[in-house]
Amino acid sequence: MSSLHDLWTLGGQSPWLDNLRRDWIQDGELQQWVDRGVRGVTSNPSIFQKAIEGQAIYDEQFGELINSGASVEEAYWGLVTTDITRALDILAPVHEASNGLDGYVSVEVAPSLARDTEGTLKAARELFAKINKPNLYIKIPGTAEGIPAIRDVLASGISVNVTLLFSVARYGEIIDAHFDALEAIDGPLDHVSSVASFFVSRVDHAVDEQLAKIGSPEAQALMGKAAVANAKLAYELFLNRYQGPRWDALKSRGAQPQRPLWASTSTKNPAYPKTLYVDSLIGPNTVNTMPEVTIAAFETEGVIGRNADRALDEAHATLDAIAALGIDLDAITTELENQGVSAFEQAFDDLLVSLGKKAEQLTSGT
């Protein structure tokens, strides 16, 4: 048994892999990750940009799609849905063995739709219909415009991974959307699943920059503490909301809670432990999606122990102390959301430009 198995059996947390590549699917490496204890896979436009641009393994299918008359963007989605479908098949046994708790693979709607409610709703339904696997998560950004789409997609029985969450307040709105969606469904609810991807390390990166500018001993003492404190408050909200009469009524119909998924858990600051954002946020009914380097570090250095709901008073005090220094965490998390949307849009646009050049070469015979 590996540390990843222990994370699940002892810590109640599902370790997922935050990467997907076609060569891993074809050469058995993704299956090896699953054998080591990985219980799900997440992807995003940046991940597909790196995979598709970095591997000639996609060229044959891309050429076939272009030569059949597909546009560059249509060909891109052809590549993506092929990888996602094959990964879903590899994770299907995990999904079945866990009774639908894990074994999911996430695919994100086009980043340009992050501020487009109706466009997101349409794209999510089309993606789900095209792939049509029970362990598929449609990934939708948790922007203000994304919330109604998230609610309606869930209410139509499609499982959703809500992404790009940075603030506890916005997470509360996502929980509201989850409850509203489940209550809009007639009959059993055991077929609808959801996770809420709460981003961690980027919060420290942004807050630490402002603490460093202040430079006082009080500011220095708070370096590297904002992200974990912020995530712990999100977990506290999760524990508080998923109990009581309203939730009990949904649970009696087979509903599963929308688990917090800790995302962006690789350490950006080399001065911090490589497993800081894994070790510090272990708790029941949570997921941690990690790039392969963080998984490798956890397997050798990780410490397993329930702590996501420990020292909550200290977490509140940490964020209060940061606010007392004049740092506006709400403004920071809003900016991080905007940056996240822009980064995914840029990655998507860059990839389409790259694929466009490749399509020109194919059609010109060069």
Instruction: Rounding to the nearest 10 degrees, give the CA dihedral for residues 103, 109, 114, 120.
Output: -110
What's the mean per-residue pLDDT of the chain?
A: 96
Whether residue 110 is predicted with pLDDT greater than 70 in this model: the reply is yes
Whether residue 66 is predicted with pLDDT greater than 60 in this model: the reply is yes
Distance CA(156)–CA(175), nearest Å, equals 17
- pLDDT for the residue 304: 94
Domains of the chain plus CATH, in order, are 3-364 (3.20.20.70)
Q: Tens digit of pLDDT for each residue in 246-289? A: 999 999 999 999 999 999 999 999 999 999 999 999 999 999 99
Whether residue 366 is predicted with pLDDT greater than 60 in this model: the reply is no
- pLDDT for the residue 245: 98
Across the range 4-25, mean pLDDT stands at: 96
> 30-35 long-range contacts, Cβ below 8 Å, gap at least 24?
30/87, 30/90, 31/90, 33/292, 33/295, 34/90, 34/91, 34/94
- pLDDT for the residue 321: 98
Residue environment code for 258-293, b if the CB has 16+ CB neighbours within 10 A, otherwise e: bbbbbbbbbbeeeebbbbbbbbbbbbebbbbbbbbe
Distance CA(7)–CA(297), nearest Å, equals 14
Whether residue 209 is predicted with pLDDT greater than 60 in this model: the reply is yes
- pLDDT for the residue 365: 64
> If pLDDT is split at 50, 70 and 90, which confidence band does 363 have?
confident
Q: Comparing 81-95, 189-203, 340-354, which segment has the lowest mean pLDDT?
A: 340-354
Percent residues over pLDDT 90 in the chain: 91
Across the range 59-64, mean pLDDT stands at: 92
Q: Tens digit of pLDDT for each residue in 115-136? A: 999 999 999 999 999 999 999 9
Cβ atoms within 10 Å, residue 130: 14
Q: Is 268 a catalytic residue?
A: no
> If pLDDT is split at 50, 70 and 90, which confidence band does 45 have?
confident
Whether residue 208 is predicted with pLDDT greater than 70 in this model: the reply is yes
- pLDDT for the residue 155: 98
- pLDDT for the residue 249: 98
Distance CA(134)–CA(96), nearest Å, equals 10
Sign of the CA dihedral running 152, 87, 141, 331: positive
Q: Between these two residues, 54 and 181, which has the higher pLDDT value?
A: 181
Across the range 318-329, mean pLDDT stands at: 98
Read off φ and ψ for residue 105, nearest 5 degrees: -125, 130
- First CA to last CA across the chain, in angstroms? 51
> If pLDDT is split at 50, 70 and 90, which confidence band does 170 have?
very high
> If pLDDT is split at 50, 70 and 90, which confidence band does 1 have?
low
- pLDDT for the residue 361: 82
- Alpha-carbon Rg for the chain in angstroms: 20
Give strand ranges (E) for the chain.
Answer: 13-17, 40-41, 104-108, 136-141, 160-165, 194-199, 259-263, 286-290
Q: Which of 328, 310, 331 is nearest to 228 (CA)?
A: 310
- pLDDT for the residue 104: 98
- pLDDT for the residue 364: 72
Residue tagged active-site, from 50, 122, 130, 139: 139
Across the range 191-209, mean pLDDT stands at: 98
Please name every residue paired with 139 in a beta bridge, in sequence order, or none if there are none: 108, 161
